[in-house]
Structure 1
Amino acid sequence: MICGVDEAGKGAVLGPMVVGGVGCEEMGDLPPGVKDSKALTPKRRATLYDEITGSFPWTVIEVSAAEIDHLREEMSMNTIVARAHAGVIAALAPQTAYVDACDVNEERYAATVTALGSPCPVIARHHADALFPVVSAASIVAKVSRDRRIIELQEAFGAIGSGYPSDTVTIAYLREQIRADGVPPVFARRSWKTVEEMMKDRRQRSLGDFFA
């Protein structure tokens, strides 16, 4: 068996990062139309997700915002991703793993994933989700899984947007929560520069009010 691994939510400021893995015997075994999740509509992603998870070995690892903050005290974000990639590969136990490289140096990233616990050879490539159908399948599983977690957070906390710093809804939500509560929401990545700058701005405003 081979497997593909990809993640969703690496750069988000709200919510978890989800790493997905899918196994198959041959690339051609996967459902027709499997491609990079970003190139699919939400409806098509959901349909393919059901087909993939219903017929092939798969797994996901969810890394919460709090865990990311904790791990970033001792390692880079790329290493956090590689650690989760290795965990997914270990869970599926394939003969070969294909992963989306999160390092400018593909070979170095493959070596990092291997050193962090991959039980098999790792082939790391930039844009692997567009090059290898098995990684495309993993990207679909990761993306749909994370989107569902974001929907759960939206149902619990309101309009939080997509969770990415580029989303104006997300930024407005974060800014209002920090203004109202004095701290970011529990599912925010506090080590992210976006949050740090908002907290710094709030402290400066509070000092200004104190000395006014």
Structure 2
Amino acid sequence: MICGVDEAGKGSVLGPMVIAAVGVASEDTLADLGVKDSKLLAQKERERLYSLIRKRCRITTVKLDAEEIDSVRTQMTLNSAVARAHARAISRLSPSCAYVDACDVNTFRYAEMVKNNLDLECEIVSEHHADEKFPVVSAASIVAKVTRDRAISVLAKKYGEIGSGYPSDPVTIRYLTAYIEDHRHPPPIARKSWKTVSAILAKRSQSQLFDF
């Protein structure tokens, strides 16, 4: 079996990061589905493909919530944490070869980072933009994206309109700013180690000084 691994939500300031691994006997399993990088697909199409991938392939996901990401970042770099999570997902499928979307500028170094977290023999093919080059990684990107989007929807029902969770989303920034203004601390779903959060906190403190 070969597998593809990708993640969604790595750069998000709110909500989890989801790592997905998709295992297939051969690339032919996905040949007729037209899978591609999840970022190039509309939500409805991602959902449709997600259901088909689940039926045809073995899949597994690893979810790291905001608190866990903050915790691991006190011990290692984010790239190291992603490599460890990629290895966890690969280990659950025990493939002979795994294609991973490299989270390091050096693809060979990233492959070694993943290997160092594995207790099984598995060839690691590490590439930038692997979700565009290998259908099995495209499938993993779809599974990761759909799983994360569903998690964000669940959080929105509890916390209100939080947007996509990314720092580039004005809705997310408005939510974070308003929550910090009201509660004087970030929400539980925020990655407190992110510069986005510290910048909002600093701006609030500065504003209070001026008010004083």
TM exceeding 0.5:
yes
Per-residue displacement from partner, 1:49-80 (whole Å, max 9, x unpaired)? 00111221100000010000011111111111
- Consecutive unaligned residues of structure 2, counting only runs of 5 or more, are none
Please state how far the C-alpha of 1:207 moved relative to its aligned partner. Answer: 3.6
8 Å contact 1:5–1:85 — kept in the other structure? yes
Partner of 2:164: 162
Structure 2 residue identity aligned to 1:14: L
Structure 2 residue identity aligned to 1:188: A
Partner of 1:138: 140
CA RMSD of aligned residues (A): 1.0
Q: 1:118 to 1:162 in 2, by over 3 A?
A: farther
Structure 1 residue aligned with 2:187, among 181, 185, 188? 185
Q: Secondary structure at the match of 1:10?
A: coil
8 Å contact 2:9–2:16 — kept in the other structure? yes
Note if 1:153 corresponds to 2:141: no
Q: Secondary structure at the match of 2:35?
A: coil
Partner of 1:77: 78
Report sequence identity in percent. Answer: 54
Structure 2 residue identity aligned to 1:41: A
8 Å contact 2:29–2:56 — kept in the other structure? no
Q: Secondary structure at the match of 1:154?
A: helix
Please state how far the C-alpha of 1:32 moved relative to its aligned partner. Answer: 1.6
8 Å contact 1:10–1:17 — kept in the other structure? yes
8 Å contact 2:18–2:61 — kept in the other structure? yes
Partner of 1:105: 106
Please state how far the C-alpha of 1:204 moved relative to its aligned partner. Answer: 2.5
Partner of 1:122: 124
Partner of 1:46: 47
Equivalence map 1:49-68=2 (5 Å): 49-68=50-69
Please state how far the C-alpha of 1:118 moved relative to its aligned partner. Answer: 5.8
Structure 2 residue identity aligned to 1:97: A
Please state how far the C-alpha of 1:127 moved relative to its aligned partner. Answer: 0.2
Q: 1:88 to 1:29 in 2, by over 3 A?
A: same
The 2-side partners of 1:180 and 1:118 are apart by 47
The 2-side partners of 1:118 and 1:151 are apart by 35
- Consecutive unaligned residues of structure 1, counting only runs of 5 or more, are none
Q: Secondary structure at the match of 1:91?
A: helix
Per-residue displacement from partner, 1:107-126 (whole Å, max 9, x unpaired)? 00000000012621110000
**111-120 vs 16-25, greater mean Cα deviation:** 111-120
Using the size of structure 2 for normalisation, the TM-score is 0.96
Per-residue displacement from partner, 1:126-171 (whole Å, max 9, x unpaired)? 0000000000000000000000000111111111000000000000
Q: Secondary structure at the match of 1:116?
A: coil
Partner of 2:177: 175
The 2-side partners of 1:118 and 1:201 are apart by 46
